[in-house]
Amino acid sequence: MNSNNDIEKIRKEIFDLQAKISAWDNAYYNLDSPEVPDEIYDVEFNKLKALEEKYASFFSDEELKNSPTRKINALASDLFKKVKHKRPMLSLNKAYSLDEIQKFIDNIKKITSDFSFFIEPKIDGLSISIIYEDGKLVRAITRGDGITGEDVTANVVQMSCIPKTIEYKESLEVRGEVYLAISDFEKLNLKLGQENKNKLANPRNAAAGTLRQLNSQIIKERNLSAFLYYVVDPLQHNIKTMQEEHEFLKTYGFPVTHEVQHANTLQDIEEYIRNFKNQKLLIDYETDGVVIKLNEVQYFDKLGSTAKFPHYAIAFKYEPNVETTTIKRIYATVGRTGLVTYNAELEPVEISGSLVSFATLNNFQYIKDLNLNENDLVYIKKAGEIIPCVIGLISGKKEIDHFQKVEFCPYCHNKLVDSETGLEQFCSNDQCPEIQRRKLIHFCSKDGLDINTMGERNIDLFLKNSLISNPIDIFNLKNKKQDLLKLNRMGEKSIENILISIDECKNKPLYKMISALSIPLIGVKLAKFVASKIKSLHNLLNYDFSQLIDYHEIGDKIINSIISWISNDFNKKLVEDIINLGYDLKDENESITNLLENKSFVITGTLGHPRSYFERLIEKNGGLIHSSISSKTNYLLAGENAGSKLQKANKLNITIITEEDLFKMIGQ
């Protein structure tokens, strides 16, 4: 039996949770500035939902009806004209387990035994409704609070992916999600950084903030995208299933996601969820789950809805991979470029099957924004399921109490310098022992020369015993065999394997060496491009890199970075010494044709071979591969289900080729 004190304590906990989540909703929906990551929101939202269900008898219906679990906490902005929706734009109920999906299915079984499902990604963007009359776009409205939204027509017409006219002449309302492609988001943040402006937190924020700009020209510049997935009143358009609806939208030129599937059973749904968990890491837009819809439209009205959710669809969200622990210590490390990263030593906690004792805190601004300090109770997750990351405080602090900025390099004690944006710190001492150590580790890593016997452990051992201090020392280890034999763990066989793997670097492609040299801004992809131009390592020091300025994705910053690096006397001598030791590596594509030289390609759709096959084929014949379409793109290699890239290529009059066309171009 609960005492009055217990009941009041539970009521207070629930009211406090409701207030906290409502504040988060306001920041997310109305201010386009989320205060917490989705994972923390989901943990607290699920906690509130469970408490409300368990203790519903402690509350009146009136007290619960305004809970964020029962209504959409979004408002229409005063900056735009407010428009009432013809039909409410509802949100979706969430499921985190197959059991919850089974309950969703069981509810459908109460209405009919003849049903199937249509599954698609849950796009992380801003909901939009677009109305057409006589085939012309006449109005676009945001979701707002689900009843009333904002008229953003002037902005939506600036989006190249949205058709302004369609062949279908009946009155039509379609709904979907506006988003910013991950590649476009990265370009936008790079530009903002160069302009000394604050970077945007994530693609969803960027999309929502952009669509609500009063200057519609910004919409055009930022290249917003959209997926449409719903036709209002589908039966009036003779659409009987969600699968037919998808085809209808595609037929009339609306952008649709291609990661869709028809399903009949819970097992089919489970398979899609399992497969999409990996697939979503490869697509160029952010998703926050999977949407499972009843395929048969005729049952939608019978199933009904709550004030917030329809009962014909549910959103599956992957279980938040989040745990709680305490920060024991905060400290800074320095990478091979001199970039400072802040880290946390944690009370050990198990997450995703492994014990985690350390996590990244990114930079000082991240610590400041989250108000983090030692001894704080925090949420952590595995970013990309690999790197543990602190993502927020369990309980907010009323006062500012964050860890203080590190002013001096913890390794060489030189004063750290801030970047132009003030978001990063760097150790500018080229001879900093940690920078040199990190460069050696990178030199031997998979992204470098891939010397698999020279891992971090062996590099640290050789550094400690003064056997290496720079890359040349690695190539000269063959002259220090007796010194190596004196080390613990180093037997004849181990040493022989190390020396063989180092000598085998003579057979590595040139781009591996270019990437290994740690030239700022030159990763593996650009190293391949540079290698295709200079052909051999000895040309690195005398090649005229300024002539590359007209290439897509090669700008002043990259060219100046290369020129600055090769102008440094230490770097010049390093390259010359590597060549003199017999490591004048050649471009692996040197013997292949230059038939595609200076031509840029984008690849999309399903082809007869894996995408990597065509990338390699194009690069081997002198061509360039890019991830996104622009006016500088020469060719779009398009397979089946080509999608939005095909539409954009058509609008920009870019030549579209098949794989057969490509083979003809290179004489195969």
Q: Active-site positions?
A: 122
Residue type (1 letter), 118:
F
Rounded (10°) angle between helices 98-109 and 266-279 = 140
Q: Which residues contact 388 (CB under 8 A, 6 or more apart)?
A: 346, 351, 356, 358, 359, 360, 380, 381, 382
Neighbours of 446 (CB within 10 A): 12
Integer Cα distance of 5 and 28 in angstroms: 35
Integer Cα distance of 598 and 487 in angstroms: 51
| Nearest Cα residue to 540 out of 508, 574, 507 | 574
Q: Are 176 and 226 in contact (CB under 8 A)?
A: yes
Q: Are 224 and 180 in contact (CB under 8 A)?
A: yes
Q: Is 168 left (phi over 0), alpha (psi -120 to 50) or beta?
A: beta
Token pair belonging to 1:
């039996």
Q: Is 510 in a helix, a strand, or coil?
A: helix
Degrees to nearest 5, angle at CA 72 with 209 and 38: 60
Q: Are 248 and 231 in contact (CB under 8 A)?
A: yes
| Nearest Cα residue to 69 out of 86, 87, 94, 89 | 94
DSSP 212-231: T-S-HHHHHHHT-EEEEEEE
Judging by DSSP bridges, how do beta strands 313-316 and 287-294 pair with one another? antiparallel
Residue 53 Cα distances to 50, 58, 63, 102, angstroms: 5, 10, 13, 19
Integer Cα distance of 503 and 435 in angstroms: 25
Token pair belonging to 490:
């180093």
Token pair belonging to 309:
């959710």
Q: Which residues contact 134 (CB under 8 A, 6 or more apart)?
A: 169
| Residues of the binding site for Zn(2+) | 409, 412, 427, 432
Rg of the chain, C-alpha, whole Å: 29
Integer Cα distance of 150 and 178 in angstroms: 14
Residue 386 Cα distances to 279, 321, 359, 360, angstroms: 16, 11, 11, 11
CA 213 to mean position of chain CA atoms: 23
Residue 246 Cα distances to 98, 243, 313, angstroms: 25, 5, 15
Integer Cα distance of 519 and 28 in angstroms: 39
Q: Are 24 and 48 in contact (CB under 8 A)?
A: no
Residue 222 Cα distances to 199, 257, 358, angstroms: 14, 20, 37
Q: Are 639 and 601 in contact (CB under 8 A)?
A: no
Q: What is the DSSP letter of 30?
A: I
Integer Cα distance of 200 and 186 in angstroms: 10
Q: Are 452 and 501 in contact (CB under 8 A)?
A: yes
Which helix H or strand E contains 248, and what residues bound it? helix 242-251
Integer Cα distance of 189 and 473 in angstroms: 39
| Residues of the binding site | 38-42, 91-92, 120, 143, 177, 293, 317, 409, 412, 427, 432
